[in-house]
Homo-oligomer: A and B are copies of this chain.
Amino acid sequence: MNTRQLIDLAQQLRVDSVRAADAAGSGHPTSSMSAADVMAVMLANHTRYDFERPQHPGNDRFVLSKGHASPLLYAAYKAAGALNEAELLTFRKAGSRLEGHPTPRRLPWVETATGSLGQGLPVGVGIALAGKRLDRTGYRVRVLCGDSELAEGSVWEAAEHAGHEHLDNLTVIVDVNRLGQRGPTRHGHDLDAYARRFGAFDWHTVEVDGHDVDAIDRAFLEADSTSGQPTVILARTLKGKGVASVQDREGLHGKPLPDAEEAIAELGGVHDRRVEVRQPPAARMLHAVRSGHLDLPRFETGDEVATRDAFGKALAALGGARGDVVALDGEVGDSTRAEFFAKEHPERYFECYIAEQQLVATAVGMATRGWVPYASTFAAFLTRAHDFVRMASVSGTGVNLVGSHAGVAIGQDGPSQMGLEDLAMFRSVYDSTVLYPCDANQTAKLVVTMAGLEGIRYLRTSRGESPVIYSATEEFPVGGSKVLRASADDRLTLVAAGVTVHEALAAAEALDREGIQARVIDLYSVKPVDRATLREAAEETGCLVTVEDHREEGGLGDAVLDAFTDGRPVPRLVRLAVRTMPGSASPDEQLRAAGIDAGSIAAAGRLLVETAMVR
């Protein structure tokens, strides 16, 4: 498109943004208007995309990091012919695909859900990394950021990652409109301030007037021709550009224009100009073609093996069988054992350093391109990426996350390193799966199983060694459990997972010596939970004791209760969990101090059975 056409297209995007927000009665038209010229130039002159085939491997990828500017995105889709007029005006209404913030759950052209600021660039970096090192089909990744969101550390975590990886297939455009939600941003229109920062992280920087379509056009060309570095285009813009009554004014964030009709007239009226978006080049997916025999590690029952070791070995084996599996490390691969994968498949191993937000964002970005990522770090440090996990679930993107060093059982390192809130965090995420194996063969099987699930899949591993109790041929369906000990005389049920399974088994033996028979259930699938088996155990034994190496809120105990919220009678129940703030101590001392060792379990079980008899 030439200058005149680009200007006209940009005005149409503004008009359609104003119209959509006006029809909705809410939304962010002024944040859309500032970036309309950038969007018009990018769409008309620089994007290669087949709207009929959003999964085309040659398609360029676009992420609207400032997701509240969704009216602009939808206006662009309309200009590209992907949406019609009528649908545009369903914006923000119940049942519409055009949500307040765009998500790929509803719209096939959206790569990742945005709306939590500072996440679009990190995910874009993940996509660009996939493009550069995995897909290699030549697509470019473009991310449109707001200026306010550059206050998020995650943006600089991503900038560091992209600079270090020389992602010259990545272009970021910052819509520097100087106004955030509640007033001026930190740096206002000081483009140099942003340029210094990106430059320091080894980016190529371009500063432009964000309302000069020719300058923008040249900036995109410069970005495309820059090699060895990602490029950021810093665009000086005005919020609400084009309508005098709102332009560059405070207090108008997230509000429809006061007089939409007048504004539309001022912007040149309603038009239905179309953009012929360039088609992508022919390209094919690499990762679909490779697969081989799965040679999963097998562990001998009775041997002592840490589940983190089993994870590393199983992942390496899975990587041999599936060419689409990739592994990501947060600079603790020697501890999580992700390094076992690195040794066998270095070309599919990604070091994300100590940057857990980028670790998860890279996984999300790669998953959007069809790869099957396993991102691992200490369970405790995955809390750093909670908001990224939450947004991945909004996207509906499937990623495998593995947290090692769970619970007080890690011993001397103390509470900062203990994952004690991870089960609660992952259980509360929509459509998640939470798995917590207690032995090596179970771990290996679950590592393979999780790859085939939808949504967020979390595997919790342990630092210390524990006995292998299952044979290598045993199966562990998601939503299942294993009854490790049962008799007709059972008077209570011990429900455990991970390290506490072994403690529960020892407790059951101790109780047996006193003449109290206890059932033991290994609840390796914490979510979804095996309601039928728990219900049956409750009905047959009457009493349940849950025991977990986790805080008492939101973990295994609460998961067990899930089975009893259907209005039917509930068993007597006691739960054992970590209720103190641990210090340093040996693993055995930690379990005892937290009251989740065999002795504590037996004591609780004994008391519960006696109480139940009396009443």
Which chain A residues have a beta carbon within 8 Å of chain B's beta carbons?
24, 26-27, 67, 91-96, 98-101, 103, 105-106, 113-118, 148-149, 151-158, 160, 164, 180-182, 185-186, 196-197, 199-201, 329, 331-335, 339, 353-358, 380-381, 383-384, 386-387, 390-391, 393-394, 396, 412-417, 420-421, 424-425, 427-431, 527, 543, 551-555, 557-559, 561-562, 564-575, 581, 583-586, 589, 593, 607-608, 611-612, 615
Contacts and interface: CB of A to CB of B under 8 A. Distances in A.
A157 to B, nearest CB: 3
B430 A551 contact: yes
Given A156-B157, A574-B565, A113 B584 contact: no
Given A354-B118, A574-B566, A416 B153 contact: no
User: Which of A186, A332, A553, A554 has the most B CB atoms < 10 Å from its CB?
Assistant: A553
Contact of A424 (B153, B387, B415, B425): B425
A164 B185 CA distance: 12
B581 A394 contact: yes
B575 A572 contact: no
B554 A424 contact: yes
A421 B417 contact: no
A94 B390 CA distance: 37
Contacts of A396: 581
Contact of A331 (B180, B329, B558): B180
Contacts of A93: 584-585
Contacts of A586: 94
A396 to B, nearest CB: 8
Nearest to A604: B567
Contacts of A157: 151-153, 156
A247 B459 CA distance: 36
A96 B570 CA distance: 43
A572 B571 CA distance: 10
Contact of A543 (B185, B333, B567): B567
A209 B161 CA distance: 27
Contact of A583 (B94, B148, B568): B94
The 10 closest A-B pairs by CB, nearest first: A115-B416, A153-B153, A153-B157, A554-B554, A570-B570, A94-B585, A156-B156, A200-B200, A424-B428, A151-B353
Given A115-B417, A153-B155, 11 more contacts: A93-B584, A96-B583, A101-B413, A103-B415, A149-B354, A196-B199, A199-B200, A386-B387, A393-B581, A554-B558, A567-B608
